[in-house]
Amino acid sequence: MGTRSPNQEDGETRVPRSGDVTLFAGAPARLEGRVRAWAAAGSVPEGAAIKEGEAYRVDSLFVKLFRDGKHRFFLRPSKARRAAHLHAKLSWVPVPAPLCLLDLRRALPSGVRGVLVTRFIDGQTLGEVRRNPDALLRLAELLARMHERGLHHGDLHPGNLIWDRERWWLLDLDGIRPPSHRLLGKRASLRQWGRLLLNLDREAALLLDPFHHYVSLRPSLGEAAPLWNELPRIADEVEARRKRRR
């Protein structure tokens, strides 16, 4: 008989239970057991895959699996814990509240080292409301509020922005840098808009009014017209950087 792995029992992966789960207010009953099973399986079989092996919808829940290495760097929180911390901390930005966090010291045989469960936000993506002027103006206001507080999202693609017909929700906080006490500078702000321009297939006319509205809310950036003229070049730089990373 072979030696059993410490994480296996009777042929099934067993998740360690040493204080690795945090349940937040509003968590459904028996969620912890389901989260442990999803981590062990490396997937959510009963869920609808948004991104196979990583993101799923299960009824009213959004489940994200994290695979950030086999071992934890003890001076750095895991991706799952950082995301949960941001979900809980950013009360002034519409983000879905965390319901359950599984944060392990080592990855399971499935490769999963963390699971974060939040409420699923039902709505439309940026691509689906790209021709809704009111929604785009509201997006400009959200970005201005974020940037004035030093909050930067490095992965602001259409799937990470959900419009529920009243407000925008910010999803997938992996790409967010922790907020600083300094407002976001001109170049970093323009890069965010350059990403939006790329994600809207360079249809600049869609962003003209929202961009001017954004600059009016952040007068320290200067005049809107010269900044607007810089956007195509900034978008080119962002696109070139994306290609280098592939």
Asked if the structure places residue 222 within a domain, the reply is yes
**Single-letter amino acid, residue 45:** P
Which range has the worst mean pLDDT, 53-62, 85-94, 139-148?
85-94
- Whole-number Å distance between alpha carbons of 42 and 115: 10
Distance from CA of residue 228 to its chain's centroid? 27
* pLDDT tops 80 at residue 16: no
Of 59, 88, 119, the position where a domain reaches its end is 119
- pLDDT tens readout for residues 104-157: 888 899 999 999 999 999 999 998 999 999 999 999 999 999 898 888 877 777
- pLDDT tens readout for residues 196-238: 999 899 999 999 999 999 999 999 999 999 999 999 999 999 8
Do residues 109 and 132 share a domain?
A: no
Of 119, 146, 167, the position where a domain reaches its end is 119
**177 pLDDT band (50/70/90 cuts)?**
low
- Whole-number Å distance between alpha carbons of 11 and 5: 10
Average pLDDT of the residues in 148-168: 85
Do residues 111 and 169 share a domain?
A: no
- pLDDT tens readout for residues 42-51: 999 999 999 8
pLDDT at 99: 93
Do residues 109 and 201 share a domain?
A: no
- Whole-number Å distance between alpha carbons of 129 and 166: 12
pLDDT at 181: 54
* pLDDT tops 70 at residue 17: no
Domain enclosing residue 161, as ranges: 124-245
Q: Does residue 129 contact residue 110 with C-beta atoms inside 8 Å?
A: no
What lies within 8 Å, CB to CB, of 121 at 6+ separation is: 62, 96, 162, 164, 169, 171
Do residues 168 and 204 share a domain?
A: yes
